[in-house]
A = this chain, B = another copy of it.
Amino acid sequence: MTLRTMEVAPWEVRSSELNPQHKRLVESLTSLGNGYMGMRGNFEEYYSGDSHLGTYVAGVWFPDKTRVGWWKNGYPKYFGKAINNLNFAKVDIYVDGQRVDLYTNQVSDFHLSLDMQHGILTRTFTVFGVKFTVKRFISLAVSELAAFAWEVVSVDGKEHQVQITSYLDANVKNEDANYEEKFWQVLDTQVSEQSSSLSMQTVPNPFGIEQFIVHAQQTFAGNFSAQASAASDLEVSNTFVATVEANKPAYFEKFVVLTTSRDYADLAAVQQGATKIAQTLAGQSFSDLYAAHAAKWEQRWHLADVQITGDNDTAIESQQGIRFNLFHLFSTYYGEDARLNIGPKGFTGEKYGGATYWDTEAYAVPLYLALAKPEVTRNLLVYRRQQLAQAQHNARQQGLDGALYPMVTFNGIECHNEWEITFEEIHRNGAIAYAIYNYTNYTGDTSYLATKGLEVLVEIARFWASRVHYNPRVDKYMIHGVTGPNEYENNINNNWYTNTIAAWVLEYTAQSLAQFPRPDLNVSEQELAKWHDIVNKMYYPYEPELQVFVQHDGFMDKDLRPVRALSKDDLPLNQKWSWDKILRSPFIKQADVLQGLYFFGDRFDQATKLRNFDFYEPMTVHESSLSPCIHSILAAELNKEDKAVEMYLRTSRLDLDNYNNDTEDGLHITSMSGSWLAIVQGFAQMKTWNDKLSFAPRLPHIWRGYAFHINYRGRLIKVSVNAQQVSLALLEGQALTLSVYGQELTLEQQLTVPFGG
């Protein structure tokens, strides 16, 4: 059940329909962000229909008291909530005294377009004989800046009075707040004829979490005349008027500068910080500021763009899909601030809460490694290093050694409050370590590993060494009581994936310590010996007859059936079945054993991968947005083109076509990397194991060709694939030895091999 609300275009997300039923969905799709702040595609002016107002500032959150389960020791005391920030886009527009409200007005000439190449949202509409063209962007050049511009012109030959009141509105709530909580109190308001400002702070909490101060100020340009200004308890406003005639447009520009206590010490400093930034921007018009912003987007695309060509709709749909995903990923995170991470909804919604999931390390890190400078990814690793003390706290909460990185967090302290996840989905602690390996192996830069990296690895290794237990009956180490990546199983024993990544962590940490000795970390010979013993005697469930790894103990005892044996009415399981039935069924939410075969692909041969893929994929319902990409990558490797394409299409346009029927709540930011992984690691079979770059491109039948950029060890490489040939162009950096279809080649400027090798 997909729903496509926007037209298909290579660089645009656009629509000429104004359908109140799809308002929330379209708002999600047309969100804007710059890593520092962002907002959903809400209309600036009053809209009386259903809408999900959302403005978010990265790293500004609230700890919401845990209401259940706290009677079990080790439970988090609060759940970190991404909170709705002040509505700084808000305006109220009157034409000849009539309020503009696209829900009730007679509207013509409506167009909405998000230009992904330059990061600008444009909207036109005509009401009461007046045509409005509204543009906005959240600046990549000046993080604290959001800019808005209205062009207003009469189109009915008459003269019209247009009044615009521009607000900073602190009267906001979270949609997902169970108890209608208010998270904000206003500290200060200031108004003058030509500007106004509002400072607010999160309400007190009993958990010692910072009460964030957010300050915003608005200034204006254009040819409207200032008429009034006002301040009330929760908002400030400035009102402007203009008379518009045919062919004589009036212009109104609004600039918002937003600063927070994350960057400044106190209220005064937060306010001064904003004023200083506003001063540097003074005199620049909307188009000046936009030019600087657009140039930054062009730089990003220069490093990262993917092009897809073809003869049919699928190609252009794919083209739009991959750019849409990269656009929103980059809008959410581009590594500027190592205190931030990649939230599950970015700036497009508030569901799930928390800012950081293992999705970052498992799915986003490989993408950022290839599409941005190494520093961007390195900051994601530094983020975890900065939260090491909190991860140690999390482990102690469970009575365990070392460090346990959280399932969900803002500040490093676990805040997820379901025991089967919090206490049990500990494989996440492997992915954090894997990202260190991934960064080191991809970039060739061992300096992070040798310093901060090992500090994190040793503590994760210590966690695993205390979390396993020895079973003398079979002379093996086991890991009981876990939830694997397949969250449709809870509290299972010996999840193959978890056991695999746990042993790998111990092995990699020991190797790395040998390579980069760190006596300061106090890893004794005895401790190392214990790690080796665990690695050597780890138990891996295996089914000898079918020769497959067993997802976990007892899995083979289930009523094993393929998804195709189900009725259509049973799907999706998470909406149609009781949790009891889901848990007992053999059906798999997302790659589990296969996630291990993906992470450690160099350790398993094709036959092993094939047997496991053929055993598990038919039982997989892909009800996690993180599932299809891993399956697409493996299917491509195993030359299962149809399956690879099916899975790719599901990940590529998940939000654009509203596959999961929940995009209205916000975009699936962290899983957006999946479509890129499916193209580059899947169709192009890019591998980077053991310091070697290699490709073995496939060409899915839905396309004529595709091309993408890779940043690898100081080079920028463009890879182009079509049915005739695979071309590699070295756009930046020095010559490089790599392999294409198993053939070792040196890329100097350009090289071309026949398609298929």
List chain A positions with a Cβ less than 8 A from chain B: 67-69, 72-75, 178-179, 397-400, 417-420, 423-424, 469-471, 473-474, 478, 480-481, 490-493, 553-554, 556-559, 574-581, 583-584
Contacts and interface: CB of A to CB of B under 8 A. Distances in A.
Given A400-B580, A480-B558, A481-B580, 13 more contacts: A67-B67, A68-B69, A72-B578, A73-B574, A73-B578, A397-B578, A399-B580, A423-B583, A469-B558, A469-B559, A471-B558, A553-B554, A553-B557
Contact of A559 (B178, B418, B470, B558): B470
A481 B583 contact: yes
Contact of A556 (B473, B554, B556): B473
Given A491-B490, A558-B469, A578 B69 contact: no
A577 B493 contact: no
A580 B74 contact: yes
Contact of A480 (B424, B471, B493, B584): B584
25 contacts: A67-B178, A73-B575, A73-B577, A73-B579, A74-B580, A75-B579, A179-B179, A397-B578, A399-B577, A399-B581, A419-B579, A419-B580, A423-B578, A423-B579, A424-B580, A469-B558, A473-B557, A480-B554, A480-B557, A480-B558, A480-B583, A480-B584, A481-B584, A493-B557, A553-B553
Contacts of A481: 580, 583-584
Nearest to A543: B473
A542 to B, nearest CB: 15
Nearest to A489: B491
A694 to B, nearest CB: 41
A179 B180 CA distance: 13
Contact of A584 (B469, B553, B577): B469
Task: List the 7 closest A-B pairs by CB distance, nearest first.
Answer: A74-B578, A423-B580, A72-B579, A68-B68, A491-B491, A481-B584, A398-B578
Contacts of A423: 578-580, 583
A491 B583 contact: yes
A574 B554 CA distance: 28
A419 to B, nearest CB: 5
Given A423-B580, A481-B580, A559 B471 contact: yes
Contacts of A559: 469-471
Contacts of A67: 67-68, 178
Contacts of A74: 578-580
A197 to B, nearest CB: 36
B72 A493 contact: no
A418 B398 CA distance: 20
A270 to B, nearest CB: 34
B73 A398 contact: no
Nearest to A67: B67
Contact of A554 (B418, B554, B578): B554
Contacts of A581: 398-399
A68 B417 contact: yes
A707 to B, nearest CB: 42
Contacts of A580: 74, 398-400, 419, 423-424, 481
Contacts of A397: 578
Contacts of A474: 557
Contacts of A178: 67
Most buried by B among A72, A397, A471, A574: A72
A470 B517 CA distance: 55
Contacts of A69: 68, 418
Contacts of A492: 491
A557 B491 contact: no
A367 B734 CA distance: 87
Contacts of A179: 179
A419 B470 CA distance: 30
A484 to B, nearest CB: 13
Most buried by B among A397, A420, A584: A584
Contacts of A470: 559
Contacts of A418: 69
A479 B558 CA distance: 10
Contacts of A473: 556-557
A610 B580 CA distance: 35
A480 to B, nearest CB: 5
A400 to B, nearest CB: 8
Nearest to A483: B491
A579 B491 CA distance: 12
Most buried by B among A67, A492, A576, A583: A583
A562 to B, nearest CB: 15
Nearest to A558: B480
Nearest to A579: B72
A480 B557 CA distance: 9
Contacts of A398: 578, 580-581
Contacts of A558: 469, 471, 480
Contacts of A584: 469, 480-481
A280 B438 CA distance: 86
Contacts of A420: 420, 491
A67 B581 CA distance: 22
A490 B72 CA distance: 13
A597 to B, nearest CB: 24
A75 B574 CA distance: 13
Nearest to A490: B491
A445 to B, nearest CB: 36
A79 to B, nearest CB: 10
A473 B586 CA distance: 15
A470 B559 CA distance: 7
A481 B580 CA distance: 7
Given A68-B67, A553-B554, A554-B493, A399 B578 contact: yes
A291 B252 CA distance: 90
A615 to B, nearest CB: 14
Nearest to A570: B399
Contacts of A424: 580
Contacts of A68: 67-69, 417
